[in-house]
Amino acid sequence: MALIVITPPALEPITVSEAKASPSLRLSVATDDTDITALIKTARLMAETHTMHALVTQTLELVLDGFPDGGIVVPMPPLQSVTSIKYIDEDGVQQTLSALLYSVDTNTVPGLITPAYGESWPATRDEINAVRVRFVAGFGAASDVPEDIKSWIKITVGTMYDNPQGLVVGQTVASVPSRYIDALLHNYRFKAITF
C-alpha cells in the first residue's frame, strides 16, 4: 500500500500573517516570511501525520496490490469524493471502474468504498500496484480547518521558529509542542488503518 499526494492543498491552514500575529510569534516585520511559510507547511504536515487527517482539500491516490475482500478503507479523512478507481485487469490492461459499480461512504471516519449492491470487485492481475484509488480529502478550504488544529499549528510554528536547532548547550529544547498542546489534536486522531 502507498499513499501519494497528487494535488497538494492550494493554501495552508493559516497564513503567514496569522502565524506572525499569534502569541507564540508576535512578529510585525516582513523578515523571515519565507522561513515562516516553510514552517507553516512543516507544521501542517506534522498535524496531518499526527492525526492521520487531511486538513485542507487535496487530491490523493491510494495504491493497492489488489482489491480487498471487503471494502476499501480510504485513509486521510475526511473523504470528500472519489475521483476514480483504476485497476490492471487479468490481461494486463488498465481499466477504469465505473462509478456505478461501487458505493462511497463519506460519512464515516475513515471513508469507505464498497462494491455496489449485487456487485463485486473485478479480478486484477497478480502484480504490485494493481489498483489505484484517486480521491479528494480534507476539511475543505483553509477557513474550514478546525480552530484547535489551527492553534496547534500556530504554536508549533512559534516553537520551531524560536528553537530552530531544538538544542541549547547542555539541554534539549522541545522543538514540537508539549503533550498539553498536543491535546488540541486528540479529537481528530485515530490509529492508522492496516491493510
* Consecutive 10-residue averages of pLDDT for the chain (195 residues): 95 93 74 89 94 96 96 96 98 97 95 97 96 98 96 90 60 54 80 45
CA distance 22 to 14: 11
Burial (0-12, 13-18, 19+ Cβ within 10 Å), 75 = buried
Q: At what angle do helices 33-51 and 147-162 cross, to 10 degrees?
A: 130
Its pTM stands at 0.85
104 touches 113 (CB < 8 A) = yes
Q: Which is nearest to 139 in space by CA: 105, 103, 106? A: 106
